[in-house]
Amino acid sequence: MKIAVIGSGGREHAIIKKIKENPNVEVIYALPGNGGIAADATCVNIGAKDLDKIVEFCVENKIDYVVVAPDDPLVLGLVDRLEEVNIPAFGPRGNAAIIEGSKVFSKNLMKKYNIPTAAYETFDDAEKALEYVKTCPIPTVVKADGLALGKGVIIAMTREEAADAVRSIMLDKQFGASGNQIVIEEFMEGPEVTVLSFTDGKVVKPMVSSMDHKRAHDFDEGLNTGGMGTIAPNPYYTKEIADTCMEKIFLPTIAALNAEGRTFKGCLYFGLMLTKDGPKVVEYNSRFGDPETQVVLPLLDSDLLTIMQATTYGTLEETEVKFKDSYAACVIMASDGYPEHYEKGYEIAIPEEVSNMVFVAGAKLEDGRLLTNGGRVLGCSGIGKSLEEAIANAYRVVDKVHFDNQYYRHDIGQRALKAKESL
């Protein structure tokens, strides 16, 4: 089989390494991939948002199955475009990917179908939003409606911050057209859990839960980032909470999308907060999370490609989705200065003995040398029989990988370890 994977991050690298385990796979193309992914797939220089070129490439090269990993091409309708030329693809159609593409849509969906989430108001007029934040409960959370590279959420601790957020999103258009509408919602408190799930629109099979570490520095200080590390499973996500989430959130979400004529197939990402009133949805994503994928897929014991195809063909019910009874951790090695200013172009050395657990994101090949080329450069994962062991194994990989100007957090998983002791 010929497979194409759309995207260029650590998540895509983890997906590619896992798909390679299927003996029927002859070749994997990565569009566009990156310098590190080139060790595991044939990289083709076509951007993930260039839908015309992607479709043309897949037709010309008789691709059997396409995995669309990032949010942008999903929301732009790449899966629909591929279906039109009879190429099956993993991921939701555009009309279902909107669950990530528009926060106004997803909040209204949750309200209509009684799915627990933060109370909210939506605005398409900045004056009305500014009026609202004069009296709303504080802290409050201001969110741009559309995709904003994970940066369109501002937690405002004061009224002034809330008004500034409204102005920067709606008037200064900090996130472009994504800020034409906004959601202003109740500030929630509690541990956060990510649950990725496979669904064919009929059944939902959750993957092992995980915990992201979004802040740049140790002890959850510093700016928000795309994610500095992850662990799985998440100790806060007990069997009892998982059952509640299935009943009150996962199944109702699949049913709600069906009822709206927007059947979702692919990976549905549930960003949850375990509040004192029970689990609530923080956000949905229409795809695998990054860097959650780098801990979840190494724990998958079943064949990833078979499961992905089952979501497309509606046979997920009878398809095995099994996870190892182990733990995983991933530490992101970034360029010093990320998420603000940082330098690029430093040579990266990844010893062969650990390359299996290194997922490359921001790197390019130049004259046969792998060079840093982004903020988040790569992720180092480890698995183990205990969370301690998984964390130690991940940091062992970190110690073996080298590039100058590197930065990483030293406390990935520490909060989860403390939680395990106290639960």
The stretch among 123-131, 179-187, 298-306, 389-397 that binds ligand AMP (CB under 6 A) is: 179-187
d(CA 140, CA 150): 18
The C-alpha atoms of residue 123 and residue 179 are separated, in whole angstroms, by: 10
72 contributes a contact to ligand GLY by CB under 6 A = no
| Closer residue to ligand AMP in complex, CB, 185/290 | 185
Which residue, among 186, 185, 197, 181, has the nearest Cα to 105 in the 3D structure?
181
Q: How far is CA 187 from CA 58, 115, 129, 140, in A?
A: 44, 17, 16, 5
Query: By Cβ distance, which residue is nearest to ligand AMP?
Result: 283
Helix pair 414-422, 387-400: axis angle to 10 deg: 170
2 and 61 in contact (C-beta within 8 Å)?
yes
Q: Of the candidates 3, 74, 82, 153, which one interacts with ligand AMP according to CB under 6 A?
A: 153
Using CA atoms, how far residue 55 sits from 50, 63, 67, in Å, is: 9, 10, 13
CB of 40 to ligand AMP, least distance (A): 29
Write down the least CB distance from residue 264 to ligand AMP, Å: 18
Whole-number Å distance between alpha carbons of 423 and 334 = 32
Residue 190 in contact with ligand AMP, rule: CB under 6 A? no
Alpha-carbon dihedral angle through residues 80, 200, 30, 407, given to the nearest 10 degrees:
120
Residue placing its CB nearer to ligand GLY in the complex, 200 or 292? 292
Q: CB of residue 235 vs ligand AMP: minimum separation in angstroms?
A: 18
Q: Which stretch binds ligand AMP (CB under 6 A): 149-157, 293-301, 344-352, 361-369?
A: 149-157
Site membership for ligand AMP, residue 282 (CB under 6 A): yes
User: Is-cis flag, bond preceding 339, omega within 30?
Assistant: yes
- The count of residues interacting with ligand GLY (CB under 6 A) is 7
In the DSSP assignment, the letter for residue 24 is T
Interaction of residue 379 with ligand GLY, rule CB under 6 A: no
Residue 313 C-beta: closest distance to ligand GLY, Å: 26
Which residues 284-323 are close enough to bind ligand GLY by CB under 6 A? 285, 289-290, 292
How many C-beta atoms lie closer than 10 Å to residue 33's C-beta?
26
Under rule CB under 6 A, residue 101 binds ligand GLY? no
> Can you read off the two tokens belonging to residue 206?
């959750």
The backbone torsions φ and ψ at residue 116, rounded to the nearest 5 degrees and listed phi first, read -60, 125
Nearer to ligand GLY, 49 or 151 (CB): 151
Based on the shown chain and the rule CB under 6 A, indicate whether residue 100 belongs to the binding site for ligand GLY. Answer: no
Write the binding mask 155 to 174 for ligand AMP: x where contact by CB under 6 A, - elsewhere.
x-------------------
Q: Do 195 and 274 form a contact (C-beta atoms < 8 A)?
A: no
Check whether the bond before 92 is cis (ω within 30° of 0). no
- Does residue 39 contact residue 378 with C-beta atoms inside 8 Å? no
Asked if residue 335 binds ligand GLY (CB under 6 A), the reply is no
| CB closer to ligand AMP, 155 vs 242 | 155
Site string for ligand GLY, 207-226 (x = CB under 6 A): -----x--------------
Shortest Cβ 306–ligand AMP spacing (Å)? 30
In the set 30, 188, 329, 363, which binds ligand AMP (CB under 6 A)?
188
Closest CA to 6 of 62, 55, 60: 55
Binding status of residue 88 toward ligand AMP by CB under 6 A:
no
Q: How far apart are CA 40 and CA 37, in angstroms?
A: 5
Residues engaged in binding ligand GLY (CB under 6 A): 150, 212, 227, 285, 289-290, 292
Residues engaged in binding ligand AMP (CB under 6 A): 118, 141, 150, 153, 155, 185-188, 192, 214, 271, 282-283
